Chains A and B, each alone.
Chain A
Amino acid sequence: MPSWDEFQPFIVTGLALGGVYALSGVGLVVLYRATGVLNLAFGAVGAMGALIAWELINNAGWDEYPAYGICILFGGVVTLAYGLLFGPPLANRDPLVKATASLGLALILLGTMSWIWSDKARSMVLPTSNENFMVSDVLVNYTQVLGFAFGVVVMIVTAAFLRYTGLGTAMRALANDREITATLGVPVRRVEAAAWAGSGLLAGVAGLLLSNLVGLDATTLTFLVISSLAAALIARLQSLVVTLIAGIVVGVVNAMITPILSISEYRDMTPFVLAIVALLWLSRHREISISRSA
């Protein structure tokens, strides 16, 4: 069993990883609360935006900030386009169907990315990654702080927005039942567009941050969403606060197992095991279903 000294720095890396999971998890739940769709293409959208930014910086000589802007914009545009094209026809379908459709988008983006940017060592370092400070023997860089803070900010702002503003309430109503919301006189298409665009911009920013925190690699970033789902699932796709906390816990536990050599190789299981345990525990008394009742 490793000593406390050996564990300590892993708490820091755990918080960094937790920040990653929290950011992606919050992104997923925000999208879900605002549009009723679990957008599993969240990671792929961000990855493609990041790769486009990389391309612009390294091969077209763009400056960094405009390229980052394009990345974020790309996230918004693609997600908005998807939402406008596929949101309405799928609106009355089961949430499972909507989530599966987003998998289709993820596959399209992943295939496109692999085709254009074959698998090579790429790096796009945000300016915040070069500034750092020391915590218990390990350097923490500002991109990690940014990722973490961004997750928290998004959570707070979105929770408040959805709860207290007119547009936010409209979005929640829309996510719950599109038809009834329409009959109430809410400009459904406009609210929908706002929700999709907003979530898309979020995916773009997350893509930028994650490309630094995890790596600029299409496959890794696209399938990161599977591990991030754990945090979202523990919150049952409802509470943003729980998502954030769950993401951090998953990250810290994952990292803390690293120095325990007997189970270290199994540590990648952490998000999955925690999600399964949490979901089974939470459903022990009653059925949990978010299908539309027949």
Chain B
Amino acid sequence: MSIKLVSGRLRQITWLAVLAIGSALFVAACGGDDDSGGGNNANVDVKETVAATDCGPKKGQKATGTPIKLGGLATKQPGTDFSEIPRMTEAYFKCVNDNGGINGHPVDYVIETEQTDPGQAASQARKLIESEKVLGLVGSSSIIEADVNHKYYEQQGYNVIAAGIAPSAYATSNIASVNMGPRYSSDGATQTLIRKKVKKIVLVQSNVPGTEYIQEGPELITKDAGLPFEGLKENVPIQDANSAALKAVQAAGDGGGVVLNFTPPEALKILQAAQQQGLQDRVKWGCSTPCNTDFLAKALGDAWDGKLFVNAELNLITADAPDSNLYREVRKKYAPDIPLGSFSQMGFIMGRIATEALQDVKGDYTKESVNQAFLDVKDFKTDILCGPWYYGKAPLHLPNNIDRTVTPKGGTMVQNEDCFPISDVDPAVKQVRGIEQKDPSLIGK
């Protein structure tokens, strides 16, 4: 092949790629910001009593001391993307850095992502701790990394603050989560549907690791209420949502309850398929926390107003209260492309907890002092959570064990039930309540 021909072809290929990308970018640019459209509820009638300068002690002053390095690890792949969570934590730290930092020190925050490959999750943990030399881990949210890495974290002396998903995030001494994870969130959704007087509970999950662990909680609670229970799994991404929805409804039977545990795009497929097949009103529908996002409320449309009960581990994104207001301000200023919802709330709260904890450190910021500070967190009050958050020395952590129920209405999520405790029929919950009773200072009593 002559040189001219070769370069001609290369040019053609480049043009095709440019064409495809260029046209799409052009459309996207014309369309404006993709995510702000769905998530930005600009018509929230709330008095903004805080400004995005309340993150740090010295308003408007950039922190200039030696940086405190922190890190986070999240799952990011098609169908399962939790990277918004640490990115929101990062946004909070940026706000902190712009307003005096932590005792004058800015936070240098590193985010790593993994694609549910255990080898990769393990490498990323080592990268954060051994290469990046982060002093503490906060903001992590991964399907598998807690399982893969918790022993390593223990060896290295890290007390992780996470938005946990993997079972180990709730079963080890050195990981504490701001959320309750899929199992306890599904517990909450189950409790809600039982209160709405369903005759049977069917839990449908995506076929990812941990389904048996997640199913245990709702199953125990359902049986304790004297009702039958069934657990189903679907491979994601779902191709035949019609059959999946039909299967779930048939399993629940008329007057039954279906609890979904999926990421929003997949849950949307099932819900829409159910609605379009006229199955919507035959059962009551519940969903674990990932469904708590305005993007989903908007995509569902008003056919679902008041008909889907989502377990919300956190307060409404529209709540009018100091931390909630600050959350919206920080998001608007530092991370406008992240939609409003549980995920970004979790990221925000973790940033807040870490910052408050580190403010109290006297002396140098080292791996030991940072992780001790995290361990010492107790009675952390915030309006974003139903109850005070805490860490403390314990074999397991489930500090967020009280939550709310929300439901879609007019393209956004509104409260349906106020804070209620997760049932202690679930043994881990019982154990945690016991820990709280033994040391009431954890929750400020």
Contact = CB atoms under 8 A, between A and B. Distances in A.
Q: Are A and B physically bound partners?
A: yes
Interface of A: 6, 9-10, 13-14, 16-17, 48, 52, 55-56, 58-60, 74, 78, 81-82, 85-86, 89, 105, 108-109, 112-114, 116-123, 125, 129, 132, 134, 138-141, 214-215, 217-220, 223-224, 227, 254-255, 258-259, 264-265, 267-268
A121 B21 contact: no
Contacts of A59: 31-34, 37
B51 to A, nearest CB: 28
Category for how many chain B residues contact A: 35 or more
Contact of A139 (B207, B268, B276): B276
Interface string B226-241: 0000000101011111
Nearest to B264: A121
B114 to A, nearest CB: 15
Nearest to A55: B31
B27 A120 contact: no
B252 to A, nearest CB: 13
B276 A132 contact: yes
A113 B27 CA distance: 12
Contacts, number: 155
B242 A120 contact: no
Interface stretch (B191-199, B292-300, B317-325, B368-376): B292-300
* Main secondary structure on B side of the interface with A: helix
B265 A122 contact: yes
Given A85-B15, A123-B299, A6 B24 contact: no
Given A116-B24, A138-B279, 13 more contacts: A13-B242, A56-B30, A60-B31, A78-B20, A85-B16, A108-B16, A108-B17, A112-B21, A119-B265, A120-B38, A121-B264, A121-B296, A138-B277
Contact of A215 (B12, B23, B268): B268
Interface in B111-142: none
29 contacts: A9-B246, A13-B243, A17-B242, A48-B24, A58-B31, A60-B31, A60-B32, A78-B19, A81-B16, A85-B12, A85-B15, A86-B16, A105-B16, A113-B24, A117-B34, A120-B265, A121-B296, A122-B268, A125-B301, A129-B276, A134-B278, A138-B278, A139-B276, A214-B239, A214-B241, A215-B237, A215-B269, A258-B246, A265-B233
Interface of B: 9, 12-13, 15-17, 19-21, 23-25, 27-28, 30-35, 37-38, 78-81, 207, 233, 235, 237-244, 246-247, 250, 263-265, 267-269, 272, 276-279, 293, 295-296, 299-301, 339
A89 B233 CA distance: 47
Contact of B247 (A105, A227, A258): A258
A268 B234 CA distance: 10
B247 A259 contact: yes
A218 B78 contact: yes
Contacts of A117: 28, 34
